[in-house]
């Protein structure tokens, strides 16, 4: 047989074998649909990488956590230390603390992995927080993504719990101080607080059960829930499609961007390697949580300069700012100075986060699907509320270190505490007012550019000597990008005989008008209005 015909025969045989194998695979798995997934479009804006940072931080946490699990002993039974760290020789300590020291000084690479794990944990919580801010400020939580927003808030809450559990496991003096604070917070809950504390600690603080229980929660319960919810979150992202910024060719009915294979996969893999490399460098050169400096936990001691990780620092600040309010009710002492800032405040905070998408939909009356991101300046009230929340959090975070600030700057601690008390009330409304003003100023600037155009750099002089700056109109694409925003009209008191409206309806209308107050209207021609309607048209069923 000639060589060319034999080669064609081999190619035909290989093709038929491949088709037969793919057909059998597709009968058992959705292999044919996988091709659509590989061509899924991912927006190429950097802001959409924040969620991937959180995902890859979780992967680093899992990889390093498996290594640490092999060497950590969570028991609280005490023994005398005779390890390689000389300053603690002969010190009584729990096996949890002793195993942490052994992991840091005797296990090859143990300290490096410990510090990578800690830095990755901080990055994980930070990435989730910034990712949620991006979603909030761009309105990506609106229909049909309310459920995914609630999953994201739950992931953030679980990340805080996971971080606290891991922070407490070494049983050093610093983490033990945090556990003492947690015991006080649980005990402040009326009626059931004492029972919760006894259940968690296995008796009077510090008990013998808290570290083993936190260990189980840290390596098994919360990671399992996290992985399950991250999977559900990603499935919803694929099913509901990504949101995207407005731009040429982008509408409420499509998604334009880079395909998963090879562009997105290559970029995303590079991001993972960069993240892993940065955490490895930080773990190698930036010391974090040196537990050997604090010593083992003792209930009669408090660590100097005891500060929690940043993500729970706002609770520490709230506890320090709250006046010492207590009441004796029915034979029980209610510690309002602990219960309000450490139980009620975070409860209200997360309740607001869970319910905000439904609150905005109720206030605006907007029930349509939204796949285009809002620019923060176009939703001045929402942006102002978000910045006010960030400023309030920042004030509480700074208040959590008021002793260090007072010592470092040689200030009066009492005076500084009162400054923070005033700031936590005054600063958020002030931030809202300033942010709203900036957003409206940016809108007015865009209206001016649309009406008059940009400066061309040319100056003309009339026969009378008047000088006029030359203007050139904005490109059509930029005009459409600035104009193609969806602005639901505020609810109105109509018909005129609206005196019979209920208080509930009047409250809704009042809030709706406050939400859209001072919105800047852009100059729109009839042709542009038709293009805007086409861009914001709802997706086809």
Q: What is the mean pLDDT of the chain?
A: 87
Q: pTM (2 decimals)? A: 0.90
- CATH number given to 40-248+263-317: 1.20.810.10
Share of the chain above pLDDT 70, in %: 92
Q: How far is CA 65 from its chain centroid?
A: 22
pLDDT in tens, 24-51: 766 666 655 666 667 778 888 888 899 9
Q: 424 near 396, Cβ under 8 Å?
A: yes
CA distances (Å), origin 303, targets 81, 111, 232: 20, 22, 41
Query: Where is pLDDT greater, at 236 or 488?
Result: 236
Q: Using the predicted structure, report yes or no on whether residue 438 has a pLDDT greater than 90.
A: yes
pLDDT at position 541 over 60? no
Rounded CA-CA distance 162/8 in Å is 60
Secondary structure (H, E, C), 160-171: HHHHHHHHHCCC
Least confident among 44-58, 79-93, 180-194, 519-533: 519-533
Average pLDDT rounded to a whole number, residues 62-66: 96
CA distance 264 to 203: 53
Domain boundaries, the chain: 2-33, 40-248+263-317
Residue 98 and residue 92: Cα distance in Å, rounded?
A: 9
Residue 494 predicted with pLDDT over 80: no
| Residue 440 pLDDT greater than 90, yes or no | yes
Q: Which burial class, exposed, middle or buried, applies to 348 when counting CB atoms under 10 A from its CB (0-12, 13-18, 19+)?
A: exposed
- For range 453-459, the mean pLDDT: 80
Cα–Cα–Cα angle for 537, 540, 541, nearest 5°?
140
Write the pLDDT tens digit of every residue in 386-426.
Answer: 999 999 999 999 999 888 899 889 999 999 999 999 999 99
What confidence score (pLDDT) does residue 304 get? 54
Residue 306, Ramachandran bin (φ over 0: left; ψ between -120 and 50: alpha; else beta): beta
User: What confidence category does residue 6 fall into, taking pLDDT thresholds of 50, 70 and 90?
Assistant: low
């Amino acid at each position: 047989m000639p060589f060319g015909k034999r080669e064609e025969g081999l190619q035909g045989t290989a093709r038929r074998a491949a088709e037969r194998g793919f057909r059998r695979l597709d009968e058992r798995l959705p292999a044919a649909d996988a091709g659509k997934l590989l061509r899924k479009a991912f927006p190429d804006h950097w802001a959409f990488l924040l969620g991937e940072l959180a995902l890859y931080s979780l992967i680093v946490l899992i990889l390093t956590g498996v290594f640490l699990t092999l060497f950590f002993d969570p028991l609280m039974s005490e023994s005398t230390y005779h390890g390689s760290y000389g300053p603690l020789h002969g010190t009584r300590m729990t096996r949890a603390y002793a195993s942490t020291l052994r992991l840091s000084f005797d296990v090859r690479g143990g300290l490096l992995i410990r510090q990578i794990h800690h830095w990755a944990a901080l990055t994980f919580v930070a990435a989730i927080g910034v990712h949620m801010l991006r979603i909030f400020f761009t309105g990506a939580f609106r229909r049909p993504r309310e459920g995914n927003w609630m999953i994201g808030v739950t992931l953030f809450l679980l990340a805080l719990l996971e971080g606290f559990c891991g922070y407490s496991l070494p049983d050093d003096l610093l983490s033990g101080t945090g556990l003492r604070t947690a015991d006080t917070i649980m005990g402040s809950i009326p009626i059931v607080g004492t029972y919760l504390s006894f259940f968690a600690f296995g008796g009077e603080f510090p008990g013998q059960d808290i570290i083993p229980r936190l260990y189980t929660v840290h390596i098994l319960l919360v990671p399992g829930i996290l992985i399950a919810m991250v999977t559900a979150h990603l499935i919803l992202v694929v099913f509901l499609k990504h949101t995207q910024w407005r731009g040429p060719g982008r509408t409420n009915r499509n998604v334009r961007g880079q395909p998963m294979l090879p562009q997105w996969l290559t970029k995303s893999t590079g991001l993972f390697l960069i993240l892993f490399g940065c955490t490895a460098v930080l773990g190698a050169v930036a010391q974090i949580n040196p537990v050997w400096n604090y010593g083992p936990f003792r209930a009669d001691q408090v660590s100097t300069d005891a500060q929690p990780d940043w993500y729970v620092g706002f609770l520490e600040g709230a506890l320090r700012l709250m006046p010492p309010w207590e009441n004796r009710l029915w034979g029980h002492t209610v510690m309002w100075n602990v219960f309000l800032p450490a139980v009620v405040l975070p409860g209200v905070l997360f309740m607001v986060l869970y319910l905000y998408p439904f609150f905005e939909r109720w206030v605006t009356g907007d029930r349509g699907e939204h796949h285009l991101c809002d620019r923060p300046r176009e939703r001045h009230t929402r942006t102002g509320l978000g910045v006010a929340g960030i400023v309030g959090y920042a004030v509480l975070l700074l208040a959590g270190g008021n002793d260090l600030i007072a010592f470092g700057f040689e200030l009066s601690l009492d005076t500084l505490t009162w400054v923070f008390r005033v700031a936590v009330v005054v600063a958020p409304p002030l931030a809202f007012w300033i942010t709203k003003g900036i957003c409206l100023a940016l809108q007015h600037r865009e209206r001016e550019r649309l009406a008059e155009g940009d400066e061309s750099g040319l100056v003309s002089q009339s026969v009378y000597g008047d000088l006029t700056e030359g203007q050139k109109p904005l490109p059509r694409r930029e005009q459409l990008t600035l104009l193609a925003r969806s602005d639901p009209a505020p609810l109105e008191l109509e018909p005129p005989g609206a005196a019979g409206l209920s208080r509930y309806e009047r409250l809704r209308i009042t809030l709706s008008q406050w939400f859209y107050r001072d919105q800047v209207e852009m100059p729109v021609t009839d042709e542009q209005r038709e293009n805007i309607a086409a861009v914001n048209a709802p997706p086809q069923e």
